Structure 1
Amino acid sequence: MRIGELARKVGVNTKTLRYYESIGLLPAAERTSAGYRVYGPGDADRVGFIKAAQRLGMRLDEIAEVLALRDADKRPCSYVRGVLHEHVTDIDNRIADLQRLRQQLLDLDARADQLASDPSAAPASCPLIDHVRHQGQVRT
């Protein structure tokens, strides 16, 4: 099948397939005498595998490692589990950062009326932002 057919079949655009090929996630496609790329069912399966791994939050470099293991007839499950554990840790850290930010924003909102009535505030400024800028309160 040609690149457009494969793209429709697996739900990506042709640029994505060319990119995957350029970075080695897809092997170089066979070419017709006119230079058109020709793909087989194994390529559709491979792109489906890549998309499934992406849905798990895996980066392309991590997927490349999984594919390399798979291509060497090695089960990549332990590598995948390690990557997924790292991603869970990252997500937990981001959630904690967002919870801290949420609390800081609520605290700032609770002080909004007091800060807005500050007579020393510049007339064309926002006292809330000025307060954060001078206090260094809000961090993610």
Structure 2
Amino acid sequence: MSGYKIGELAHRTRTSAPTIRYYEQIGLLPRPERQEGNQRRYADDDVGRLTFIRRCREFGFGIEQVRMLTGLVADRSRSCMEARDIAQAHLLDVRAKLHELRALEKSIAAFVDQCDAECIGGPGPDCVILDDLAGATGKKPCCAANAVAAA
């Protein structure tokens, strides 16, 4: 029997054997034929399909989106507009995540700026960043110098 062993497939597609087994388990990759000793043997079609799946995952498509896209690859009767719609939905999700990450960046920058303005390396439990993360309402100075000034 010819074909690739799982390690060879992993190498050719820049994935890992556990990833290949997982994709088989969830049905993204068809279960391969087995040879003596029950070893998996993969064909060139498997190389192409797994490379496609890896690329989809690199672009951040979720498993169900990848499932839909691999279904499109295999069905000539379906429109490529379905792929466009899946990509458009994913683009909207990515943009929403970017918006959330920008808001997170501003919040963390505010933590750092506040610490720079109020702290000079006092005890950790008195840190304004830790207070903010704990949801403390009354801000306490972060360092002994500020504690003396506040008194």
Could you state the TM-score of these two structures normalised by the residue count of structure 1? 0.74
CA distance in 1: counterparts of 2:132 and 2:38, whole angstroms? 62
Moved over 4 A (4+): 113-117
% same residue: 27
1:123 deviation in Å?
A: 8.5
Matched residue, 1:126: 127
1:24/1:65 CA distance change after superposition, 3 Å: same
Q: 1:53 aligns with which of 52, 56, 71?
A: 56
Residue pair 1:6, 1:44 contacting (<8 A) in 2 also: yes
1:41 deviation in Å?
A: 0.7
Aligned residues: 131
Residue pair 1:116, 1:128 contacting (<8 A) in 2 also: no
Report the structure number with the largest CA radius of gyration: 2
Q: 2:24 aligns with which of 9, 18, 21?
A: 21
Residue pair 2:72, 2:83 contacting (<8 A) in 1 also: no
Say what the alpha-carbon RMSD is for the aligned residues: 2.6
1:31 deviation in Å?
A: 1.0
Runs (5+) with no aligned partner, structure 2: 138-151
1:88/1:29 CA distance change after superposition, 3 Å: same
Q: How does 1:78-93 map onto structure 2 within 5 Å? A: 78-93=81-96
Q: How does 1:94-109 map onto structure 2 within 5 Å? A: 94-109=97-112
1:110/1:23 CA distance change after superposition, 3 Å: closer
Runs (5+) with no aligned partner, structure 1: 136-140
* Higher mean displacement: 38-47 or 58-67: 58-67
Q: 1:8 aligns with which of 3, 8, 11?
A: 11
Residue pair 1:70, 1:76 contacting (<8 A) in 2 also: no
Matched residue, 2:140: none
1:60 deviation in Å?
A: 1.8
